[in-house]
Structure 1
Amino acid sequence: MTTAASTPASRAFGLLVCLALGAVAVGLSALVRPWAPALSPLLLAILAGMAWRNLAAVPERLSPGIAFAAKPVLRTGIVLLGLQLALGDVLALGWGVIGLVVAAVGITFAATLALGRALRLPWDLIALVASGFSICGAAAVAAADSVVRARREMAATAIGLVVLFGTLMIPLMPLATGAFGLSEEAAGLWIGASTHEVAQVVAAGGLVGSAALSVAVTVKLARVVMLAPVMASLAAAQRRRDARSSALPDDGSAASASRPPLVPWFVLGFVAAMLLRSTGLLPAGVLDAAAAVQQLLLATAMAALGLGVHLRSIVQVGPRPLVLGAASTAVAVAVGGAGAWLLGPGLSLG
């Protein structure tokens, strides 16, 4: 797909197409959720975009709007994601669980980076998989994509891995918690600390029980809070990579201005939205509307990413991403399981 001249009209047309795909994905996901909870709007949207891109021609005049949906719209959706998080809910878990959340995200992220380098995978794919598997699935992949400027086929591959391994965890995690004889609260802690997508956490926790579901979702949202520091760290790493590749000092000059900022603006917006939610000033109706808009914006961005993906490029990556996804999942499960064993017996949301 070549790039057309960008005008307000061309941007609007391409954006509306992506918005329509996103809206259909949101509606279809709600329709099939009782039977297929893993089919999130983000997954359905990127699949719709990929199907169009690989089965039929995408008009060139859509390019400016697709590019707009894949960046500014995406970043706005990440900002609104902060309104789903209240610091009070996270702090109510207790410092032990908060420490587990930090350890689970940090260890899984670092281990995935190391494993990806050992497998000689591309840097952009490694960064996306590490973000998605350690934090919050497709939303974290999208945020990392905005920081490292990954190729679209790498974003699609990372999201596909999140869906594959996260879906496998929906039946396997309840079986594992039962095999170890964990209480519902401890089971929810393990599920929330290990499972990739929020929708997958809801599905797995719901299979165990209501207490497990409550703990799992709260722990998962605590992991989402880690999006801000991890993305800031990833931006700093990307700046160092850019500086090395261009052999230019990181001096703030015009030559280095194209590097990602140390703290991307959407990360600051995410933190500000989270703090605003934590004040308790926003009524429930506003929060519900913001959640719906956030879901639609991210689905729109996923459709845009899908419209730029060549399946041939994904196939050429080979089986090594599957190895990375399996290993990253194993690390997350091991860290979460150790924490559930140690902290589960005394866990309380009070």
Structure 2
Amino acid sequence: MAVIDSKAGVTPPQTVPAPPRPGKLPGLAMAAAGVALAWAVHLLVPAVPMLTAAVVLGIAAAHLPWIRTRVRGAGRPGLTLAGKRLMRTGVVLLGLKLSLDDVLGLGWATVVMVFAVVAATFFGTLWLGRRLGLRGDQPLLIATGYSICGASAIGAVSEVSGSDEEDVATSVALVTLCGTLAIAVLPLLHHPLGLADAQFGRWVGASVHDVGQVVATAQTAGPDALTDAVLVKLMRVALLAPLVAAVALSVRQRRQAAPTGKRPAIIPLFVLGFLAMVAVRTTGVLPGGALDVAQHAQELLLAAALFGLGSAVHLPSLVRTGGRVAALGLCSWVVVAGVSYAGVLLTT
């Protein structure tokens, strides 16, 4: 009710100040705790990569009764920051794993095979995802994760596509699940498919999503298989930069008709950082100790980012589209495994 004042007349109703927005520190602390738990899980069960454990723990935190209200409330700003900013930094440091000399050492036949695998998986998954009617950017993000390097690629592409956080989280969950299953399934197919150890390593490197999952899968066939798997995998990682640039250009062109809309840079800053790190690694100026420190930092940053992304997964929403998402994941897995298997047989 308005208050009558003899001097000022009718005064407006008192406005209640908005409650202060939660800061980012609680969410960042949750992400740090999630990384510590993921690291502990990896130590206890070495076959489970730390990044995989981080995603699973993030999903669990978003649904456990005694913590989910904090994850979705006070922790949300910091967890969102981890899923975006820390992901960018981790992608930049990922470039230090890749040397142009290593790529050229694979031979042109293998390089062509990797290009074919990435192209077939990306465009096939994108087409099928749209035919299945998946929401938002899910077809694009799932295609990126399966064809390049799992959750890291999804995070990088989502930065330039402006994807909804729930779409990103759902795509990360699907790709992580399939990559985790590959750790158990692919070694069982090593000998029945008639693959030598080196061939098995290249097949794993060309078909498994995350670098950690590649290592966990290929090491079952010995050191030679592991070396070839990591080299082929890093060749796929190298294609992250042109893919992100292509997505950014596509988004920029779509927004030409909306001058007020923010258009992404053709080559985002973090992608330039990734390329710069590849160049630094190629020069050989960094000692082994520095590369080891950078690798640990990259794993910790990506684990924090994936915990943040996992905490945005809402399982009830995922269940509503679960059948279509699962169908896309299975089909994409068959494509990437089948094309890479044929490529390995043709190039070795």
Question: After the TM superposition, which of the residue ranges 194-203 and 84-93 deviates more from structure 2?
Answer: 194-203
1:234 pairs with 2:238: no
Unaligned runs of 5+ in 2: 1-17
The equivalent position to 1:279 in structure 2, one of 279, 283, 286, is: 283
Q: Give the conservation status (yes or no) of the 8 Å contact 2:35–2:304.
A: yes
Q: Which position in structure 2 is the counterpart of 1:310?
A: 314
1:53 pairs with 2:62: yes
CA deviation vs aligned residue, 1:250-293 (integer Å, no higher than 9, x gap): xxx5x13x232211111111111111111100111111111111
Q: Give the conservation status (yes or no) of the 8 Å contact 2:87–2:302.
A: yes
One-letter identity of the residue aligned with 1:132: G
One-letter identity of the residue aligned with 1:52: A
Question: After the TM superposition, which of the residue ranges 195-204 and 276-285 deviates more from structure 2?
Answer: 195-204
One-letter identity of the residue aligned with 2:160: V
One-letter identity of the residue aligned with 2:112: G
Unaligned runs of 5+ in 1: 345-350
Q: Give the conservation status (yes or no) of the 8 Å contact 1:23–1:296.
A: no
Q: Which position in structure 2 is the counterpart of 1:267?
A: 271
Q: Give the conservation status (yes or no) of the 8 Å contact 1:52–1:58.
A: no
Q: Which position in structure 2 is the counterpart of 1:293?
A: 297
Question: Following superposition of structure 1 onto structure 2, how do residues 118-157 of structure 1 map, counting pairs within 5 Å?
Answer: 118-157=131-170
**Pair 1:16–1:175, CA change in 2 (3 A):** closer
Q: Which position in structure 1 is the counterpart of 2:99?
A: 86
Q: If each structure's helix is expressed as a fraction of its own residues, which one has the higher value?
A: 1
Displacement of 1:101 in angstroms is 1.1
CA distance in structure 2 between the partners assigned to 1:4 and 1:112 by the alignment: 44
Displacement of 1:4 in angstroms is 7.8
Q: Which position in structure 1 is the counterpart of 2:345?
A: 341
CA distance in structure 2 between the partners assigned to 1:215 and 1:168 by the alignment: 21
One-letter identity of the residue aligned with 1:28: V
- SS of the residue corresponding to residue 104 of structure 1 reads helix
Q: Give the conservation status (yes or no) of the 8 Å contact 2:49–2:213.
A: no
One-letter identity of the residue aligned with 2:191: G
**Pair 1:180–1:21, CA change in 2 (3 A):** closer
One-letter identity of the residue aligned with 1:301: A
CA distance in structure 2 between the partners assigned to 1:227 and 1:184 by the alignment: 27
Q: Which position in structure 1 is the counterpart of 2:332?
A: 328
Q: Which position in structure 2 is the counterpart of 1:43?
A: 52
Q: Which position in structure 1 is the counterpart of 2:121?
A: 108
Q: Which position in structure 2 is the counterpart of 1:167?
A: 180
**Pair 1:85–1:339, CA change in 2 (3 A):** same
CA distance in structure 2 between the partners assigned to 1:318 and 1:311 by the alignment: 9
**Pair 1:299–1:169, CA change in 2 (3 A):** closer
Identity of aligned residues (%): 43
One-letter identity of the residue aligned with 1:141: I
**Pair 1:320–1:301, CA change in 2 (3 A):** same
Displacement of 1:321 in angstroms is 0.9
Q: Give the conservation status (yes or no) of the 8 Å contact 1:152–1:306.
A: no
Runs (4+) off by over 6 Å: none
CA deviation vs aligned residue, 1:286-324 (integer Å, no higher than 9, x gap): 111111111111111122223333222211223011111
Question: Following superposition of structure 1 onto structure 2, how do residues 236-255 of structure 1 map, counting pairs within 5 Å?
Answer: 236-243=249-256, 247-248=257-258, 253=259, 255=260
**Pair 1:204–1:46, CA change in 2 (3 A):** closer
Q: Which position in structure 1 is the counterpart of 2:13?
A: none
Q: Which position in structure 2 is the counterpart of 1:347?
A: none
CA distance in structure 2 between the partners assigned to 1:179 and 1:194 by the alignment: 17
User: What TM-score, normalized by structure 2, do the two folds share?
Assistant: 0.86
CA distance in structure 2 between the partners assigned to 1:237 and 1:72 by the alignment: 22
Structure (1 or 2) with the larger CA radius of gyration = 2
CA distance in structure 2 between the partners assigned to 1:225 and 1:308 by the alignment: 28
Displacement of 1:69 in angstroms is 1.6
